[in-house]
Amino acid sequence: MSRIVTIDPVTRIEGHARITLELDDAGEVRDARFHLTQFRGFEKFCEGRPYREMPALTARTCGICPVSHILASNKACDDLLAVTIPPTAEKLRRVMNLAQLTQSHALSFFHLSSPDLLLGWDADPAGRNIFGVMRQHPELAKDGIRLRQIGQTIIETLGGKKIHPTWVVPGGVAEPLDAAKRDAILALLPEGLEVAKRTYAFFKTLVPRFTAEASHFGTQPTMFLSLVSPQGHLEHYDGFLRLKDAQGHIVEDRVPTGDYVRLVGEAAEDWSFMKFPYYKPMGYPGGIYRVGPLARLNNADACGTPYADVALAEFRMLQDRGPVASSFHYHYARLVEIIYAIEMMERLLQEPDILSARVRARARSNRYEGIGVAEAPRGTLMHHYRIDDNGLITWVNLIIATGHNNLAMNQSIRQVAQAYVDGNRLQEGMLNRVEAVIRCYDPCLSCASHAFGQMPLLIELHDAAGRVVDRLGRP
């Protein structure tokens, strides 16, 4: 007689989801599923709108990473215009993207995952939250706030508005950067780099404590998809798509982003509103891959900045050979990427043409189809539009980073549940680990909202007849 355990809602993630665990007669986990329970339908209600509205419309999918949508959307619009944006505009867009990555990774590490990492998976859930971290590790919590503030301040300095900046436009950016703003941003970066390096050094000392979790948190063999630069380096804005297999062999390389449809297929299941992208040549569900910081570091030949390259070398030592497989190490990869982002922003802002006034290419639509791909903090973000002769949207496809990771997240919770959950005696710490593996991916569910803290949590065991046989709940 099988039973179902439901974790609803999953806490300290972005958006609304639940997890169900199916138990067999012996109380062992037979299957696990991660269900996205919210539906938004952006792809449908954008139809009929002028394509130039798309950056502003799609930015509203998310209060956390609107910059990522703004960039991918404007890149799709650049494609519709058939323009190459001025080099300075590209550099400025890159700076904004890296600032977004910095503040987003900081939120994930310091505020969402640190309660587990610093206070313990089995700590009293009443105190296993950001206030527990602030009390026990106030300096680390301040560092998290400072990194977020630096990232947000850079976005605001460039874009004028913090949450949904309208500075990035089809063809480039609306306004050039002036020397005062550049210098103000540059002045923030040394402190940011020190905070990032300090946090990275601290986290390295913690990693050995989590050997068990690292062995069970999503170590399934998957491929890895990300952008890389033309030189094969870490890339967040443009470049080519690269796919590596679980052994580290390059399966696809130098794939233009406009050819993503050759690589990525999309499946649907009737138990979730999230799509299930897969590597098309291998079919569904065998074409499983992961995106995001772990995939980016596994795919890159180098970061290309001094401290990040040292950290990347240490990241590769987390595993004897091949790509780093455990999804637990998404946390590690995020910290490496924060270091990289700060170093790269400094480099870009010191480019001689960064203050150039030529920051926008102007044109009307010259194509009926446009594709924009960028790396959001959580992974590869794809915007794909078709328009009619009047420039009105006729079709939209969005593949967000969390969607790419959907198959992997489902496999990961199955693995963690099978390792930790005893269906005959539910304990909160067991189920927190099931949630925690999802937090490794920092999912942005339908690019909605972060959820954390003391949300009501109810886990029930049902028998085959639907009777509740056990219940574990938070008020």
Partner 1 sequence: MTRRRPAAAVPSPRPPGPPAADAVPGVWRTLVIGYGSPIRGDDAIGPLAADALAAAPLPPGWRVLSRHVLTAELAEDLAAVDRVIFLDASVRGRPGEVQVCTLEPDAHAISTMAHFLDPRELLAWCETLYRRVPQAWLVSAAGASFDYASYRLGPAAAAAVPVMLAEVRRLAAAPSARTGPAAVP
Q: Using CB under 8 A as the criterion, which residues of the chain lie in contact with partner 1 when the complex forms?
A: 12, 14, 60, 63-64, 107, 111-112, 129-131, 134-135, 138, 141-142, 144-146, 148-149, 152, 161-164, 449-455
272 burial (CB, 10 Å; 0-12 / 13-18 / 19+) is middle
The most distant pair of C-alpha atoms in the chain lies apart, rounded to whole Å, by 71
Q: C-beta of 209: minimal distance to partner 1 in Å?
A: 25
* Helix 406-420 × helix 428-440 angle, to 10°: 150
| Signed CA dihedral, 277, 279, 284, 288: sign only | negative
Give strand pairing partners of 242. Answer: 226
* Helix 330-349 × helix 306-316 angle, to 10°: 160
Our CB check for partner 1 shows the closer of 58 and 415 to be: 58
Q: C-beta of 452: minimal distance to partner 1 in Å?
A: 5
In total, the chain counts a number of residues equal to: 475
Q: C-beta of 458: minimal distance to partner 1 in Å?
A: 15
Our CB check for partner 1 shows the closer of 392 and 451 to be: 451
Our CB check for partner 1 shows the closer of 162 and 367 to be: 162
List Cα–Cα distances, 15 to 100, 167, 456, 457, in angstroms: 19, 27, 14, 14
Our CB check for partner 1 shows the closer of 64 and 177 to be: 64
Our CB check for partner 1 shows the closer of 139 and 320 to be: 139
Q: C-beta of 172: minimal distance to partner 1 in Å?
A: 24
Our CB check for partner 1 shows the closer of 140 and 227 to be: 140
Residue pair 400/447 in contact (Cβ under 8 Å)? The answer is yes
Q: C-beta of 224: minimal distance to partner 1 in Å?
A: 27
Q: C-beta of 146: minimal distance to partner 1 in Å?
A: 7
Q: C-beta of 253: minimal distance to partner 1 in Å?
A: 36
d(CA 247, CA 251): 10
Place of tokens 């058939």: 82
Our CB check for partner 1 shows the closer of 373 and 447 to be: 447
389 burial (CB, 10 Å; 0-12 / 13-18 / 19+) is exposed
As a three-state string, the secondary structure of 325-348 is: CCHHHHHHHHHHHHHHHHHHHHHH
453 token code pair? 């803290």
Our CB check for partner 1 shows the closer of 14 and 116 to be: 14
Q: C-beta of 246: minimal distance to partner 1 in Å?
A: 32
Our CB check for partner 1 shows the closer of 40 and 316 to be: 40
| Signed CA dihedral, 7, 10, 16, 17: sign only | negative
Q: C-beta of 149: minimal distance to partner 1 in Å?
A: 4
Q: Residue 29: CA atoms inside 13 Å, Cβ hemisphere, count? A: 25
d(CA 316, CA 8): 36
